[in-house]
Amino acid sequence: MFKIVWKESLTPVIDCLKVEAPALAAKARAGQFVIIRVDEVGERIPLTLADWDAHEGTITLVAMRVGTSTHKLGKLKSGDSLIDLVGPLGRPSEIEKYGNVVMVGGGVGIAPIHPIARSLKNAGNRIISIIGARNRDLLFWEDKMQALSDELIVTTDDGSYARKGVVTEPLKELLEKGGINRVIAIGPAIMMKFCSATTRPYNVPTVVSLNAIMVDGTGMCGCCRLSVGGETKFACVDGPEFNGHEVDWDITLARQKIYLKEEKESLARWESCQCGKS
């Protein structure tokens, strides 16, 4: 059991949890992920690390309430426990001094962008961050991103806060100006697809982090397989970060929808079970 030492809701549908896991925290590196299981009947779901503190022996997870597992996660309180927490999994981000790096975080993807930006900043890069969400209520960690970015651009799709529009627009403007050495984009698959398409004409290396459906997270099941550069790769052990220009986005997008029907059924069942519970 892994104790939740602290929990807060970052937005009405996004939760942030700090979980006790000293051995994991000591090994964690930017870009890696964990697999959690909320309870005895729960699924194994991957979440990219939002933060960790080796000294304190904790890791931080951020999740948006989408399916049954993330809704269950949202119900947990400080003092409760996760039944399983496994990691750190996957390959860490490549951290080097590249020069000018654009960090693009979309929606809940702002969370994993944060530690990668910090590592890149510490490696001597100039960090330009673009964070975006559908609306003001889904935006979080603007302050944290502000603190470690040399330049921060905030967008909302509906214009309810900051600049109206999607993240690819300011990204294109930056690329147009030139001098960008690397782009790292994390968010919904469709956003990462369009970020990759935006940077391609400028030939700027673009890294995306693919949060595929997984079971074990150690290369055993192959559920998370993707086509990258014409080869089949496993997001869990070969990634989660890949060259966005080489990812076959059609397969990636299709594979995320495998269990759409079952996910809805499961969530409806969970929600009906919640009626009458406090």
Partner 1 sequence: MEEKAKSKINLNRVDMPRQDPKDRAHNYNEVALGYTEEMALEEANRCIQCPKRACVSGCPVNVDIPEFIKALRDKNMPEAVRVLKSKNALPAICGRVCPQETQCEEACTLGKRKAPIAIGRLERYVADWDLTNKDKRPATILPPPTGKKVAVIGSGPAGLTAAADLAKFGHKVTIYEALHTAGGVLMYGIPEFRLPKAVVQAEINYVKSLGVEIQLDSVMGKLATIDELMDKDFDAVFLGTGAGLPMFLNIPGENLNGVYSANEFLTRVNLMKAYLFPEYDTPIKIGKHVAVIGGGNVAMDAARCALRLGAEKVYIVYRRSRTEMPARHEEVENAEEEGIIFKFLTNPKQIIGDDNGWVKAMECYEMELGEPDASGRRRPITKAGSEFVMDVDVVVVALGTTPNPLIPSTTRGLETTRHGTVVADEQTGKTVKDRVWAGGDVVTGAATVISAMGAGKRAAASINEFLMKKQSF
By CB under 8 A, name the binding residues for partner 1.
Answer: 23-24, 27, 37, 41-44, 68-69, 83-89, 215-223, 225-227, 232, 237, 250-251, 254-255, 257-259, 262-263, 265-266, 269
- Report, in Å, the least distance between residue 239 CB and partner 1: 14
In this structure, how many other beta carbons lie within 10 angstroms of the beta carbon of residue 94? Answer: 16
Residue closer to partner 1 (CB basis): 6 or 259: 259
Residue closer to partner 1 (CB basis): 69 or 129: 69
- Report, in Å, the least distance between residue 252 CB and partner 1: 9
Residue closer to partner 1 (CB basis): 61 or 154: 61
Distance CA 62, CA 10 (A): 9
- Report, in Å, the least distance between residue 184 CB and partner 1: 22
Distance CA 273, CA 215 (A): 25
Residue closer to partner 1 (CB basis): 73 or 130: 73
Residue closer to partner 1 (CB basis): 44 or 163: 44
Q: Which two tokens stand for residue 265?
A: 């059924």
- Identify whether 170 is preceded by a cis peptide bond (ω within 30 of 0): no
- Report, in Å, the least distance between residue 261 CB and partner 1: 8
- Alpha carbon distances (Å) from 162 to 73, 127, 190: 30, 19, 22
- Report, in Å, the least distance between residue 202 CB and partner 1: 29
Distance CA 247, CA 240 (A): 12
- Residues 60, 17 contacting (CB under 8 angstroms): yes
